[in-house]
């Protein structure tokens, strides 16, 4: 009975190819558009605590720290010798950024080394962009001021040489000094180093790593469209009456519906990842690839699919027509996407909206996906999001089964 019901669902799906096509075409278009739109990384951001590490009691480092405090940044100062200890604090998110200054006041400009920025891969990119501008401004200012302080040119035997020779030596000395300053300003100021949850260095995050997971999750929730179309067909063709006569249990019928759509969700998952890996580089965008264990993503995909199917099935049994399902279900999906960080990253939202985003199933899914992708987290580390997704899907399915069982008893026409 179960196998026959599953084949029945597949035959109904074959009659609604437009609805199935929407599941793949719509998230692909959104992913391509938003990947290109976010690639400039011109976002607003939040504040985070900064740790400045350098040589203790060094005038250059102390002056740099003082100017950063005047910018009202949340900044603390530490000893560069304790970098490994502070890296553990960074992994625990006690700091948003560690700035390591390996230079001292006595170093010449030609011996200058780039400052190191140790940070988490999931750091707010807009906030980081603003902070880097402040760091560059004040560090360069401190370095050049201290380099030029009490810097006098003393010419030997200046009383015996003609004025022309004095002028030549002065100009040569000034040219040399300005050449050193120009060389210093042309040097790379920052070396960004990203640490994941395991303390390993990883590549810098990019816009694709937000867009692909976001619109993949968005597309999986739109499984509601073909599911609601099938349920509408059952009502129109009096299928409920035949199922009632066959004494089919509502639980088995629901299970028969879920399996084909669950497989479609997994095809969406695999297809979007493959698209990000092969197609995006052809459009001059970074390639998308999964980091960490692949089966972690499989577990997450199953949890997202359960949540999406539970929501879609509940809408499908409540709505009396396809139009009602599209309005109720589609509107709910768009709202969940808007507040869950799918359309706009949560870190650019106001604090109140960030709190609201914690109640969106899509927000849970996206948070777990990015933890796996950027921080290479384990299943234990994304366990809260997995339980939320599974619980949401289970509750939705339970309510849908009760309503569907009631419909089998009351809406069947003999």
pLDDT in tens, 244-272: 666 667 777 788 888 889 999 999 999 99
The pLDDT mean for the chain works out to: 80
pLDDT in tens, 85-101: 998 888 888 888 999 99
**413 class by beta-carbon count within 10 Å (0-12 exposed, 13-18 middle, 19+ buried):** exposed
pLDDT of residue 312 exceeding 90: yes
**For 33-56, what is the mean pLDDT?**
62
Q: Which of 66-80, 164-178, 282-296 has the lowest mean pLDDT?
A: 164-178
Q: Which of 158-162, 218-222, 340-344 has the lowest mean pLDDT?
A: 158-162
pLDDT of residue 134 exceeding 80: yes
pLDDT band at residue 42, thresholds of 50, 70 and 90?
very low
Strands 201-202 and 190-195: antiparallel
pLDDT of residue 322 exceeding 90: no
What span, in angstroms and rounded, lies between the C-alpha atoms of 105 and 240?
83
48 Cβ neighbours under 8 A, 6+ residues apart: 74, 95, 96, 97, 123, 124, 127
**For 42-65, what is the mean pLDDT?**
78
Cα separations in angstroms, 406 against 233, 324, 396: 18, 20, 16
**For 16-25, what is the mean pLDDT?**
62
The structure tokens 């089998």 sit at 408
The structure tokens 């560059």 sit at 136
**For 130-157, what is the mean pLDDT?**
73
**For 3-26, what is the mean pLDDT?**
63
* Share above pLDDT 70 across residues of the chain, in percent, rounded to a whole number: 75
């Amino acid at each position: 009975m179960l196998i026959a019901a599953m084949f029945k669902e597949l035959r109904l799906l074959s009659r609604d190819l437009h609805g199935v096509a929407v599941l793949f075409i719509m998230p692909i278009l959104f992913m391509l558009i938003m990947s290109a739109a976010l690639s400039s990384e011109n976002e607003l951001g939040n504040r985070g605590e900064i740790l400045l590490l350098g040589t203790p009691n060094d005038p250059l480092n102390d002056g740099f720290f003082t100017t950063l405090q005047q910018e009202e940044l949340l900044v603390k100062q530490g000893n560069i010798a304790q970098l490994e200890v502070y890296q553990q604090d960074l992994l625990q998110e006690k700091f948003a950024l560690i700035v390591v200054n390996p230079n001292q006041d006595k170093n010449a400009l030609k011996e200058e080394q780039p400052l190191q920025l140790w940070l988490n891969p999931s750091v707010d990119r807009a906030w980081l962009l603003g902070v880097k501008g402040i760091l560059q401004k004040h560090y360069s200012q401190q370095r050049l001021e201290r380099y030029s302080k009490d810097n006098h040119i003393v010419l030997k035997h200046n009383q015996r040489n003609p004025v022309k020779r004095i002028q030549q030596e002065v100009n040569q000395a000034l040219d040399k000094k300005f050449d050193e300053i120009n060389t210093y300003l042309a040097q790379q100021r920052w070396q960004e180093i990203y640490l994941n949850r395991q303390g390993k260095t990883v590549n810098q995050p990019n816009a694709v790593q937000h867009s692909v997971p976001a619109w993949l999750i968005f597309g999986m929730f739109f499984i509601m469209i073909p599911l609601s179309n099938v349920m509408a067909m059952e009502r129109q063709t009096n299928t409920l009456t035949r199922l009632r006569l066959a004494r089919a249990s509502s639980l088995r019928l629901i299970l028969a519906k879920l399996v084909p759509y669950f497989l479609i969700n997994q095809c969406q998952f695999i297809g979007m990842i493959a698209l990000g890996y092969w197609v995006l580089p052809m459009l001059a965008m970074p390639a998308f690839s999964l980091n960490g264990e692949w089966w972690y993503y499989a577990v997450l995909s199953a949890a997202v699919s359960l949540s999406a199917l539970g929501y879609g099935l509940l809408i499908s049994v409540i709505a009396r027509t396809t139009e009602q399902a599209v309005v109720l279900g589609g509107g709910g999906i768009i709202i969940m996407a808007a507040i869950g960080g799918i359309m706009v990253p949560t870190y650019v939202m106001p604090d109140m909206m960030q709190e609201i985003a914690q109640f969106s199933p899509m927000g849970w899914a996206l948070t777990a996906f990015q933890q796996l992708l950027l921080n290479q987290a384990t299943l234990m580390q994304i366990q809260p999001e997995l339980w939320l997704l599974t619980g949401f899907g289970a509750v939705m399915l339970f309510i849908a089964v009760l309503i569907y069982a009631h419909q089998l008893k009351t809406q069947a026409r003999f």
